[in-house]
């Protein structure tokens, strides 16, 4: 396929660097000014790992949109992927409702998500339509190939959505203030907590959302999702001086800060 969407300039990364540097130099967005777009490989990933942050921002008046790239329909040995996919979709819609979020679904099958031009174009179009200020997705290293692919697809899509040269039905969007990576038990390698978000008042909404999923309630997987993520929020909260917190990672270049004086 033609790769004409790729930027023709010498180094698109420079623009991304400028964007992220601008994030930290810009004033903090106020309540209701943000649009969060959280993109997960499988329905349930986003809610488990960053649902409490999404609940918090929705409560503050921000818009929250979740894009599930696949339904994660292959994870139930007792059901066909088609039947479990239908169940996962219903569960995802219930979880979104509990968070006050809008839910979108990608066309891919569980286990078949790949870092392709087609996937980047699809997600770039979503970015152009949703116009997020903040994007949350998977960390780059993962036990699950779908998660690692989602990381690369989302980063390519955020850049693509910003480029005039990428032609789609929607105008370019350059308003992404940062891409943030959620803490997922499957994506632990090299993940170092960087930002800690206080979710002490949002754990109830988070629990209501994630327990929409049977696999979180304990009926399918032996992994104790609910206990793990609640305990993790307590651990991150402890080191952040909060009751509960959720940690996010960013790319190394996004940690650069330019100041007039020491903080
Ligand atoms: Zn997953």
- Average pLDDT of the chain to the nearest whole number: 91
Average pLDDT over residues 146-158: 98
Measure 72 CA to ligand 1 centroid, in angstroms.
Answer: 7
Query: From the CA of 257, how far away is ligand 1's center (Å)?
Result: 32
202 alpha carbon to ligand 1 midpoint, in Å?
A: 22
Q: Once rounded to an integer, what is the mean pLDDT over residues 201-207?
A: 98
Q: Which pLDDT does position 32 carry in this prediction? A: 81
pLDDT tens per residue across span 156-183: 999 999 999 999 999 999 999 999 999 9
Give residue 147 CA to ligand 1 midpoint distance, Å.
6
For residue 28, the model assigns a pLDDT of 59
- Both tokens of 245, joined, read 């917190």
- Angle, in degrees to the nearest 10, between helices 12-25 and 145-162: 90
Q: What is the DSSP code (8-state) at residue 27?
A: P
pTM of the shown model: 0.89
Q: What's the pLDDT score for residue 29?
A: 63
Residues 27-71: pLDDT tens digits?
456 768 999 999 999 999 999 999 999 999 999 999 999 999 999
User: CB of 33 within 8 A of CB of 60?
Assistant: no
| CA distance linking residue 7 with residue 248, whole number of Å | 29
Q: Which tops the pLDDT comparison, 24 or 261?
A: 261
Q: Where are the beta strands (DSSP E) in 33-162?
A: 35-42, 63-70, 102-108, 134-138
Token reading at 30: 């106020």
Give 181 Cα–ligand 1 centroid separation in angstroms.
Answer: 14
* Per-residue pLDDT tens over the stretch 83-104: 999 999 999 999 999 999 999 9
What confidence tier does 219 reach under pLDDT thresholds 50, 70, 90?
A: confident
For 53, half-sphere exposure in the C-beta direction (CA atoms, 13 angstrom radius) is 29
| DSSP string computed for 141-162 | --SSHHHHHHHHHHHHHHHHHH
Q: How far is the CA of 260 from the centre of ligand 1 (A)?
A: 42
Say if residue 151's pLDDT is above 80.
Answer: yes
119's tokens? 């996937």
Q: 185 CA distance to ligand 1 centroid (A)?
A: 10
Ligand 1 centre and the CA of 9: distance in Å?
35
Token couple for 148: 């690692």
Mean pLDDT throughout 236-261? 97
Compute the distance from residue 169 Cα to the ligand 1 centre, in Å.
30
Q: How far is the CA of 261 from the centre of ligand 1 (A)?
A: 42
- In contact, 161 and 173? CB cutoff 8 Å: yes
From CA 184, how far away is CA 146, in angstroms rounded? 13
First and final C-alpha spacing in the chain: 49
Q: What is the pLDDT averaged over residues 1-21?
A: 41
Residue 85 CA to residue 246 CA, distance in Å, equals: 28
The pLDDT assigned to 12 comes to 43
Find the 254 Cα to ligand 1 centroid distance in Å: 25
Cα 39 to middle of ligand 1, angstroms: 11
Instruction: Decide if pLDDT at 134 tops 60.
Output: yes
Question: CA nearest 52: which of 180, 201, 187, 177?
Answer: 201
Query: How far is ligand 1, taken at its centre, from the CA of residue 263, in Å?
Result: 38
Q: What are the strands of the beta sheet with 102-108, ordered from one edge?
A: 102-108, 63-70, 35-42, 134-138, 178-182, 245-249, 195-198
Higher-scoring residue by pLDDT: 73, 28: 73
**Residue 25 — very low, low, confident or very high, per pLDDT cuts 50/70/90?**
very low
């Amino acid at each position: 396929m033609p790769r004409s969407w790729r930027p023709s300039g010498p180094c698109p990364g420079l623009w991304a660097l400028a964007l992220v540097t601008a994030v930290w130099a810009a004033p903090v967005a106020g309540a209701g000014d943000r649009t969060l777009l959280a993109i997960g490989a499988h329905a349930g990933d986003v809610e488990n790992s960053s649902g409490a942050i999404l609940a918090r921002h929705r409560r503050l008046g921000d818009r929250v949109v979740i894009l599930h790239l696949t339904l994660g329909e292959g994870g139930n040995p007792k059901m066909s992927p088609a039947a479990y996919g239908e169940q996962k979709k219903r569960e995802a819609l219930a979880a979104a409702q509990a968070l006050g979020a809008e839910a979108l679904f990608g066309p891919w099958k569980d286990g078949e998500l790949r870092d392709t031009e087609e996937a980047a174009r699809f997600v770039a179009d979503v970015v152009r339509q949703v116009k997020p200020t903040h994007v949350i997705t998977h960390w780059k290293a993962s036990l699950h190939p779908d998660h690692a692919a989602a990381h690369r697809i989302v980063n390519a899509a955020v850049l693509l959505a910003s480029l005039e040269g990428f032609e789609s039905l929607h105008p370019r969007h350059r308003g992404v203030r940062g891409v943030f990576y959620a803490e997922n038990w499957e994506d632990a390698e090299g993940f170092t907590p960087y930002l800690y978000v206080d979710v002490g008042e949002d754990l109830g909404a988070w629990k209501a959302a994630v327990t929409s999923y049977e696999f979180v309630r304990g009926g399918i997987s032996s992994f104790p999702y609910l206990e793990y993520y609640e305990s993790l929020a307590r651990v991150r909260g402890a080191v952040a001086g909060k009751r509960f917190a959720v940690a996010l990672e960013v790319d190394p270049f996004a940690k650069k800060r330019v100041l007039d004086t020491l903080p």
